Amino acid sequence: MQPQKTEQFTVPIGPQHPALKEPSSFLISVDGEVVTNAIVRLGYAHRGIEKATESRTYVQNLYLLERICGICSHIHGTAFAMGVERLAGVEVPPRAQAIRLIIAELERIHSHMLWLGVGAHQGGFDALFMFSWRDRETVMDLLESISGNRVNYSANVLGGVKFDLTAAHIGDILKALDYLEERTHHYLKVVTTDASFLQRTRGIGTMTRHQAEVLGAIGPTARASGVLRDVRIEAPYGAYVDHPVTTITDDRGDLEARFAVRIKELFESYRLIREVLDDLPPGDIKTRVKRKIPEGEAAFRVEAPRGELFYFIKSDGTDIPSRVKVRTPTICNMTSVVKLAVGHQLADVPMILAGIDPCFSCNDRMVRVNRNNGSDGWTWEQLRQHGIEYYKQRSQDYDPLVVG
């Protein structure tokens, strides 16, 4: 019998798919069940935020940039506010710094618990998904009682924070942390001992230390491969200067390590919040920042729940920034998904993807390469026309679609 010619089959996944709640498209070539190539197509959540910042004032931008991502909204606001404060030469009161840290760590807890649930769901462990999301509501309640909103807290203003922590808040937080710590011990036990779940995570998607460095992985994904990358340690900002964190790393680099690292980071967040609450500095929670920001450029990086978040802000002396550039952690980790998926079973791909804690609404950017070394950017209208033309051409790839 003639050996059959191996044929590659391409499985298109997305942008609407049952696994993830965000739009992203994958073209996965398979040989049988084994992945031979993976192509990722991003951009479904590109809204043009960076350009929009150039027509809004600094205060308005604070609310716009917070809505880049609904999960790590506070840290986006913090990075922008701290960058602008650096440009304005304003010293933020220590109490405001401490409150920023507490909310950032609460956000990290809610983000990691959310991810734990989503990761477990990808692995078919829906019980863990439901439990972790039930416990996540504890953090959501805290954030709501502090800020009044469950998701976009808008805690930051230029020069400080919007609301103070009262004694009642502090009591609630400490009580909730005790409960969460107990639950987190349980989750750590589950993901490191449950036999059927370990079959989905142990040895899957292993990224060596060298690979992590070459692929430019950051955040907990890199730390699970033994690469110590954490902005809170490399370049401490705000209250992290006085309250250093201990970074958790793991040398194994597989999915199990990523679960372990993120869950252990929760303990570090609990410890840090308690430490800061213990000696919360007294005083004001905001200082005045002038409406017009002095001319200059500032780069600021912070540690988002998913890794390093970088902001570049350029001011031309008015109350509107002339350029804001955002670099989010998911885009740095995305290459690792495409590399690591090759050689694994197709069924492991959602797990490998979930392993980096992807956030597509953060990472969809437009890049234009300017070959003439000129400094002319595109205007709003040009960008709009380009978008209309581009997608008109692209839509010819599909069958013509008419509603009705």
Give the footprint of other proteins on this chain (CB under 8 A): 15-18, 21-23, 43-49, 51-52, 63-64, 67-71, 73, 114, 117, 129-130, 133-134, 137, 140, 150-152, 359, 361, 364, 366, 380, 383-384, 387-388, 390-391, 394-395, 398, 401-404
Nearer to other proteins among residue 72 and residue 257 (C-beta): 72
Nearer residue to other proteins within complex by CB, 126 or 284: 126
Q: Smaller CB distance to other proteins: residue 371 or 394?
A: 394
Q: What share of the chain is helix, strand, coil (3-state, %, to 5)?
A: 50, 15, 35
Closest separation in Å from C-beta 392 to other proteins: 9
Cβ 235 to other proteins, closest distance in Å?
27
Smallest separation (angstroms) from other proteins to the CB of 80: 14
Asked if 95 and 283 count as a contact pair (C-beta separation under 8 A), the reply is: yes
Cis peptide before 15 (omega within 30 of 0): yes
Rounded to a whole number of angstroms, the minimum distance from the CB of residue 128 to other proteins is: 12
Q: Are 87 and 293 in contact (CB under 8 A)?
A: yes
Give the DSSP H or E segment for 91.
none
With respect to other proteins, which residue has the nearer C-beta, 92 or 359?
359
Q: Where are the alpha helices (DSSP H) in 224-254?
A: 231-234
Amino acid at 160: G
At 165, is the secondary structure helix, strand, or coil?
coil
Helices (H), 216-254: 219-223, 231-234
Q: CA angle, 108 as apex, 85 and 263 as ends, to 5°?
A: 150
CA atoms of 20 and 201, how far apart (whole Å): 18
CB of 377 to other proteins, least distance (A): 13
- Residue closer to other proteins (CB basis): 75 or 92: 75
Q: Which of 88, 77, 94 is nearest to 155 (CA)?
A: 77
Least Å distance, CB 121 to other proteins, is 9
| Residue 320 · residue 52 · CB < 8 Å | no
C-alpha to C-alpha distance for 336 and 353, rounded to whole angstroms: 9
> Residue 202: enclosing H or E segment and its boundaries?
none
Residue with tokens 């997305």: 14
Q: Could you tell me the smallest distance in angstroms from the CB atom of residue 148 to other proteins?
A: 11
Question: Which candidate, 82, 62, 105, places its Cα nearest to that of 160?
Answer: 82
Q: Nearer Cβ to other proteins, position 371 or 392?
A: 392
Residue 144 vs 275, nearer CB to other proteins: 144
Q: What is the CA radius of gyration of the chain?
A: 22
| Of residues 46 and 209, the one with the C-beta less far from other proteins | 46
For helices 94-122 and 167-193, angle between their N-to-C axes, nearest 10 degrees: 30
CB of 359 to other proteins, least distance (A): 7
